[in-house]
Chain A
Amino acid sequence: MRPIASALLILPLLLSACSEPPARQEIPEVREPGEVRREAPPKLDVRQRLGMRSDSAMGSSQGVDDPLGGITFHHEMPEGWEKVPNTSLRQVNLRMTDTPEAEAYFTFLPGGGGGLKANLNRWRGQMGQEPLSDEAIAALPTRPIFGQPATFILIDGDFVGMGTEPKPDYRMYGLVLTYSDPQSQQDQAFFLKMTGPRAVLEGQEAAFDLIASSLHAVAPGDEHTHDDDHAGHNHGAEGDDHAGHNHGPEGDDHGAEGAEAAPMTSPKAAPAEAEGEVGYSWNVPEGWSEATPSMMRLANLTVDGHDNVECYFTVLGGTGGGLEMNINRWRQQMGQDGLSSEAIAALPKHPLLGGDATFVTIDGTFGGMSGSTSQENFRMYGLVHVDESQAFFVKMTGPQAVLAEQEAQFLAFSESISLGPVAPAAEAPAAAAPAPMAANPHGVDDPTPPGGNNPQGLSWKAPEGWVDGGERLMRVVTYEMGETQCYITSLPGEAGGVNGNLNRWVGQMGEAQLDEAALADLPKISVLGQEAPLLDVTGSFTGMSGGTQEDYRMLGTVVPAGDYTMFIKMIGPDAEVGAQKDNFVAFCASITQ
């Protein structure tokens, strides 16, 4: 009896073990289009496809998109919380890592969203509580959001979401700020809300306050009177104050107003987002000095002896709101009426980055973006150039008398701005994805043809025992030896620079970053006829898949080779990689172009 039972139980296991899925499979379903055919989707770049037009992973602030028109909101991330995808009504969407039912989110509603009382009482209703009277609402405490006092409410009760069963013993923290935008005369409402089990949220009030106090809107125009103090300002490497500065990409794509900034203007007033992935260079006119660039100001200049004069250069993704809107916004800041399309079209032109930029001179009382202090008898010079994918702005403000003397310098500065080399930066955004590549199966010793994953036509000699790992995305070639892999990647440009990438690899091994001296002291090997640093680091390897491998070792080198950068990396168990170190060095030396 027993053998029969065993056979019955084991047979299905054996059957299932025999069915390893094939590596090449036919697509089984083909559907013809129905009578009602969907419209073809737009061709979007990867960030847009992923719903991440802003760069959300840089630094501690978390950038998100505002589906209402390009405004983004940033904040500090409290410990134990993580970002989840936004929804159309949640411009910031977070939850607790350990307690996913605890969530926090920020909503910005143009139009006022029903007002303070209706929303507070709606929240109380969600928690099974009676509504509050006007007097009781007026007596509620306030806490700052965007530097403004917002009504704070704490509600305990049984939480009822949308169409869900009541969740007992919940807590809600909420902040409501209603605001009337003086420019658009439109009501706006800002809501920050945190809900979750009461026992959990009792310890999260500080996290709520951190999000509230650090929340700030990203200015969607080139106007930023409040410089952001977040990390990510990669200033040029050279020390010369007056000529040929190279400015690397900003660490964060978006400029941001400080927490003290007033609430944003309506999205319609400034629908744009900033990008700074390309490096620019320019000449600083005589008698001018550079101030620290901000998130939005790639170049930020002052005129010596005149503190109230500033000139800056900004690049925005998209149209940046367009030519007319920006010029009329500037005119509004100077207390002037807007111009008609015809009048704007008739404005003089001046070269900027290879295009004809519209040049505008506006005299009046300068209110700036905050409108806090008015400066009489001011002048503004502005240049706007909008091309297919970006908008460029150069702007200078100051007393009329001073600016009248500086017009030639302003125009010379604008003319000198050009696309320049990018300063190396460890946190630089990734290089653009290469153009479509040609697959190129290659023999071990055969030079591989240029194009595809090997656009430079590199060839090499693989050491004995290395097995071709087959086609891999983004890699020129991959070899395997046991669990160990060795591969070559090449990317156009500097792709983050030598030291930046070496330190990123060190970070993948869980080790402390190397300083300049340690990087300079790395042993050198010969690659493509030049001396390249050899990184040899042992530790716990955390790859791009997120899994961690203990007792791993990495050998790697980064080789700048003209218009591209080559990466050669070996990763695997400590013992295996150790045994292959000589082979790795020989492999690197064998690479030719």
Chain B
Amino acid sequence: MKKLFNFLASYGFAVVLLILLTILTLFGTLEQAESSLYDVQNKYFNSFFLTHDLFGIPIPLPGVYLLSVLLFINLTCGALIRVPKEWKRPGMLIAHFGILYMLVAGFVTYHFSTSGQMTLFPQERSNKYQSYYEWEIEIAELEDGLYGRHWVIPGEQFIDMDVEDTREFFHPDLPFDLMLENYVPNTMPQPTPGDEGVEGFTLPAKPLEMEAAQNAAGAYAMVLDKKNQEVQSGLLWGFSVAPWIVTVEGKDYAIELRHRNWELPFTITLDEFIRDLHARTTMASNFESVVTKAEPGEADRKINIRMNEPLRHKGYTLFQSGWGPQNAGPGDRLFSTFSVVKNPADQWPLYSCIVIAVGLLIHFLQKLVSYLRAENRRRAS
């Protein structure tokens, strides 16, 4: 046990981890020439293990997620537990604590944050934001011409499917099971003659896009009535303009493959979008949105969201991220797009940097004082 602790707390282990982290940062950066940022993040930084292709030779490597966990253990064992407790070097202790804090921030961000976008035209309102990359399948009950209860299958439950896989989803309250087949992460439906495809279309796989938000996932879907075993088959595609609607036991259900949606605990109404242009160009010199935030039990509040001045509320941050449509001419109605981020560890990297800076400052001051004392002693002697 002691051997294990000594290994985990060793400088040698820390050095190996830091070298590996440097290599992965380099490889991950180079890989962005070939793949999208999102894919690179998933492959190199959110993974336990990966295989890097170096001039055609596959090199197995630990992922940054695993290395970060090991680094956390190494720092905890080495810097906080094993170091002498008599506060001889409090600065280093504080700096190491700051690094641990930053690793925890990364962990919390990875596991508990969500990010997406909300697009509004003036006078529109919404309490939802939509992921750029993640998918979900929504099954919604339709009643009296309105959406009713809905069941959501998060992307984690189907994006790992291979094209040959089939997977079935069920819920006790649903009168049918949903079976997926031929899931492809990026596709463009093609009409097909003859005996293949569903609803007259196939979903041929396309290479992933450099910009991951442009990938359009698709799958064949089969609805199996639990009572009479009747089957309806249809096509789900991420860029569909409307959901697939099936009728089971006399009730309509809308089934849709779409980018993941999350709800905000408040509603945003875009009152006005302001865009100033540089003279005689279409380059925006400033763009900002005047919004009203409404939530139950609180008075409505008017807020300006502009570059570097996001709206932060209840753990959510709304940044002004874009506008459109493209090629809008003078006088055209413009929409405003907000990046919405929910991250409990939003400010933790800032705090951890402050802690590290304080630690290093104390440490260097301590060093300076001991140096000056030593100098004085030398001069005195």
Q: Which residues of A contact B (CB under 8 A)?
A: 1, 4-5, 8-9, 12-13, 16, 21, 23-34, 36-44, 46, 48-52, 55-58, 83-85, 87-89, 100, 107, 113-114, 118-119, 121-122, 125-126, 128, 130-131, 160-163, 166, 191, 426-433, 436-440, 452-453, 470-474, 489, 491, 495-496, 500-501, 504, 544-547, 567, 569
Contact = CB atoms under 8 A, between A and B. Distances in A.
Given A37-B146, A544-B204, A501 B195 contact: yes
Contact of B200 (A38, A83, A432): A432
Given A27-B170, A29-B152, A473-B233, A125 B280 contact: yes
Contacts of A89: 325-327
Interface stretch (B37-45, B102-110, B185-193): B185-193
Nearest to A46: B199
A224 to B, nearest CB: 23
B245 A43 contact: yes
B196 interface: yes
Given A28-B154, A29-B151, 19 more contacts: A4-B3, A24-B168, A27-B151, A27-B171, A27-B174, A31-B150, A36-B127, A38-B147, A40-B146, A57-B191, A87-B325, A113-B329, A121-B280, A429-B193, A436-B232, A437-B230, A452-B229, A544-B197, A545-B204
Given A25-B167, A545-B184, A453 B231 contact: yes
A38 B242 contact: no
B204 A546 contact: yes
Interface residues on B, range: 35 or more
B32 interface: no
B268 to A, nearest CB: 13
A454 to B, nearest CB: 11
A200 to B, nearest CB: 14
Interface in B165-190: 165-171, 173-174, 179, 181-182, 184, 188-190
Contacts of B203: 544-545
Interface stretch (B116-124, B208-216, B308-316, B360-368): B208-216
B283 A160 contact: yes
A453 B231 CA distance: 9
Given A33-B147, A473-B181, A162 B322 contact: yes
A55 B222 CA distance: 24
Contacts of A29: 151-154
A433 B222 contact: no
B194 A495 contact: yes
Interface in B323-367: 323-330
6 contacts: A24-B170, A25-B167, A27-B152, A30-B173, A471-B166, A474-B233
Given A46-B201, A500-B194, A40 B151 contact: no
Contacts of A50: 189, 201, 235, 237, 240-241
Interface in B117-158: 127, 139, 142, 145-154, 157
A580 B328 CA distance: 62
A429 B202 CA distance: 12
A49 B154 contact: no
Contacts of B220: 473
B318 to A, nearest CB: 16
Nearest to B220: A473
- Give me the 4 closest cross-chain CB pairs, A-B, nearest first: A430-B200, A546-B204, A29-B152, A544-B202
B25 interface: no
B282 interface: yes
B194 A430 contact: yes
A32 B146 CA distance: 13
Contacts of B75: none
Given A41-B242, A46-B234, A100-B211, A27 B169 contact: yes
A453 B127 CA distance: 43
Contact of A471 (B216, B222, B283, B284): B222
Nearest to B178: A27
Given A46-B201, A50-B240, A545-B204, A130 B280 contact: yes
Contacts of B149: 30-33
Contact of B167 (A1, A24, A42, A87): A24
A58 B182 CA distance: 23
A501 B194 contact: yes
Contact of A545 (B148, B182, B200): B182
Interface in B51-86: 62, 66, 70
Contacts of A489: 195-196
B48 A1 contact: no
Most chain A CB within 10 A, of B49, B191, B280, B330, is at B191
B142 A40 contact: yes
B183 to A, nearest CB: 10
Contacts of A36: 127
B381 interface: no
B376 interface: no
Contacts of B224: 439
Nearest to B233: A473
Contacts of A30: 149-152, 171, 173
Contacts of B184: 545-546
B282 A160 contact: yes
Interface of B: 3-4, 7, 13, 48-49, 62, 66, 70, 127, 139, 142, 145-154, 157, 160, 163, 165-171, 173-174, 179, 181-182, 184, 188-206, 209-211, 214, 216, 220, 222, 224, 228-235, 237, 239-245, 252, 254, 263, 280-284, 287, 321-330
Contacts of A16: 48-49
Nearest to B48: A12
Contact of B163 (A28, A122, A491, A545): A545
A436 B233 CA distance: 7
Contacts of A433: 198-200, 233
Contacts of B282: 122, 125-126, 160, 162
Given A52-B189, A471-B222, A26 B169 contact: yes
Contacts of A545: 163, 182, 184, 203-205
B167 A23 contact: yes
B216 to A, nearest CB: 7
Contact of B329 (A84, A118, A131): A118
B142 to A, nearest CB: 4
B242 A567 contact: no
Contact of A25 (B145, B168, B192, B210): B168
B243 A41 contact: yes
Most chain A CB within 10 A, of B222, B325, B329, is at B329
Given A31-B152, A547-B163, A567 B192 contact: no
Contacts of B193: 426-430, 495-496, 500-501, 504
Most chain B CB within 10 A, of A40, A426, A491, A547, is at A40
Nearest to B137: A27
A544 B193 CA distance: 12
B325 A40 contact: no
B75 to A, nearest CB: 15
Most chain A CB within 10 A, of B169, B181, B263, B326, is at B326
Nearest to A277: B200
A9 B62 contact: yes
Nearest to A438: B230
Given A38-B146, A452-B231, A545-B182, A27 B239 contact: no
Given A46-B199, A473-B181, A33 B146 contact: yes
B200 A431 contact: yes
Most chain B CB within 10 A, of A121, A433, A437, is at A433
Contact of B197 (A9, A474, A546): A474
B73 to A, nearest CB: 9
Contact of A472 (B48, B181, B228): B181
Most chain B CB within 10 A, of A24, A49, A100, is at A49
B328 to A, nearest CB: 7
Contacts of A57: 190-191
Contacts of B154: 28-29
B223 to A, nearest CB: 9
Most chain B CB within 10 A, of A43, A121, A131, A453, is at A43
